[in-house]
Amino acid sequence: MNKTIVIALSTVLMGIGVGVDFLAPEWVPLPGWLLSITALIIIFVFNLNLRHNQIQEEFNELKDQLKSLDREMIETRVELDATQDKLNNNLENPQIASELRMLRSLMKQFTDNVNGHLDPEAAISQPSTLKQHETKPTQEDQAITHEPILDYSDIEILKFLEKSVREDNVELYLQPIVRLPQRSQVFFECFSRIMDDKGNIIRPEQYLPVATSAGLTAAVDNLLLFKCVQLVRRTRRENPEIVFFCNISMSTLTDIDFFTDFIDFMADNTNLTSSLVFEFSQETTLDKDYEIQNGLDRLSKLGFRLSLDQLHQLNVDLPKLASQGFKFIKIDAHLLHEMARGDTPNLNMRALKGALDRVAMDLIVEKIENEEMLKDLLDLQIDFGQGYLFGAPKSATAANR
């Protein structure tokens, strides 16, 4: 009860008590002051009881809030413990640390090699080290690739290449591989791209010969491999069904130090076997070098699927490839058309499909550029296609936006 009301009531009651004593003492058997004090005591007790009930309600409310906070603290503690357990048991931590160590090593090696080729005196005294390419693409070439040849010297391209690697700015591009005839996207192939200072794409036809002359092919390929693994790891969280094809060059396989570390790294990432396919050229698979064959064997034993690319002859030993872990074979659309079409085809498509089915391998026809070409190839009952008709290579960063 409000203090003002209590004081007012007390004053009124005291006045009443005094009035009773003076004005009508014979009406009340008790003294007026005693009546006033009794009434005041009753009001005080009543007010005290009200205050007690109010305090009890506030106390109960506070107790409920404390219980709620306690539950939230327990839940938070459980979540923190679970998070800590995940961090302690998460294999990605050592994987990322291992990845960063290799990247630092690659960048140091890359920079050292580039610096030797960017030395002005070396460039002047040895002009043949990096030859100038003055050939211009035809309009047909540019229409197919959608990426024009830029007018840069090899020294300028090497500078762009060095900057891209040093700043970890080698772009990862993806091109879809579709199921036919539905044209539904099922796989993506990964490519590397570098850019000039204005953000223009420098095509592989320009920078790969420069990288090869400077001894940097393995470094570029290795960076592409890492970016591919990073992309797969990120993508699996939202879409575990997507499969990525990533090329491994012969120079990477013969880089013993790097490839040994890479095999160890992938051994810690065997959860990616269903999402990552490693691609090798036919030239690589036919090389009898022990390190190359051992590298193929080690990747296959980890459970990763392999793909055969860049065929220059169709006389391939499919059972042997299958035993090495190859699950895909890629054929150039123009080569397949040349071999399988016409009045006297050199390739029996039905026999090839049957042979592939017997060893559980799939055929992917690449470089399909227009509808007329696709219509002609569909008569051969192909299952998968790749080319600009189904989508140009697109930046993985842009694709994830």
Residue located via tokens 């570098």? 194
| pLDDT for 35 | 59
Taken as a whole, the chain contains a residue count of 401
More confident residue, 276 or 142: 276
Query: If you average pLDDT over residues 56-81, what whole number do you get?
Result: 73
Q: How confident is the model at residue 137 (pLDDT cuts 50, 70, 90)?
A: very low
**Tens digits of residue pLDDT in 180-203:** 999 999 999 998 888 888 888 888
Cα distance from N-terminal residue to C-terminal residue, the chain: 64
The CA dihedral of 367, 369, 375, 378, to the nearest 10 degrees, is 20
CATH of 90-399 among 2.60.210.10, 1.10.3720.10, 3.20.20.450, 3.40.50.720: 3.20.20.450
| pLDDT for 12 | 65
| pLDDT for 3 | 59
| pLDDT for 120 | 41
- Helix 256-267 vs helix 92-118: crossing angle, to nearest 10: 160
Query: If you average pLDDT over residues 380-399, what whole number do you get?
Result: 87
DSSP structural state of residue 270: G
| pLDDT for 125 | 34
Q: Check whether 352 has a pLDDT greater than 70.
A: yes
The predicted model scores a pTM of: 0.68
**Tens digits of residue pLDDT in 81-96:** 665 555 455 545 565 6
Give 104-112's long-range contacts (Cβ < 8 A, gap of 24+): 105/258, 106/165, 106/219, 106/222, 106/223, 106/258, 107/165, 107/166, 107/168, 109/219, 110/162, 110/165, 110/166, 110/216, 110/219, 111/162, 111/165, 111/166
The CA dihedral of 219, 220, 223, 229, to the nearest 10 degrees, is -120
Residues of the chain with pLDDT > 90: what percent? 26
Domain range list for the chain = 3-71, 90-399
Output the average pLDDT for the chain.
Answer: 77
Residues of the chain with pLDDT > 70: what percent? 69
Residue located via tokens 């992917």? 364
Q: Check whether 283 has a pLDDT greater than 80.
A: yes
Task: Among 36-45, 213-222, 318-327, name the one with the lowest average pLDDT.
Answer: 36-45
Q: Check whether 311 has a pLDDT greater than 70.
A: yes
Q: Check whether 60 has a pLDDT greater than 50.
A: yes
Could you tell me which of 254, 265, 279 has the C-alpha nearest to residue 229?
Answer: 265
Q: Please classify residue 156 by burial: count the beta carbons closer than 10 Å to its beta carbon, then call 0-12 exposed, 13-18 middle and 19+ buried.
A: middle
Q: How many CB atoms lie within 10 A of CB 362?
A: 15
Q: How confident is the model at residue 24 (pLDDT cuts 50, 70, 90)?
A: low
Query: If you average pLDDT over residues 289-295, what whole number do you get?
Result: 90
Q: How far apart are CA 305 and CA 360, in angstroms?
A: 12
Query: If you average pLDDT over residues 137-156, what whole number do you get?
Result: 61
More confident residue, 148 or 135: 148
Q: Check whether 337 has a pLDDT greater than 50.
A: yes
Q: How confident is the model at residue 313 (pLDDT cuts 50, 70, 90)?
A: confident
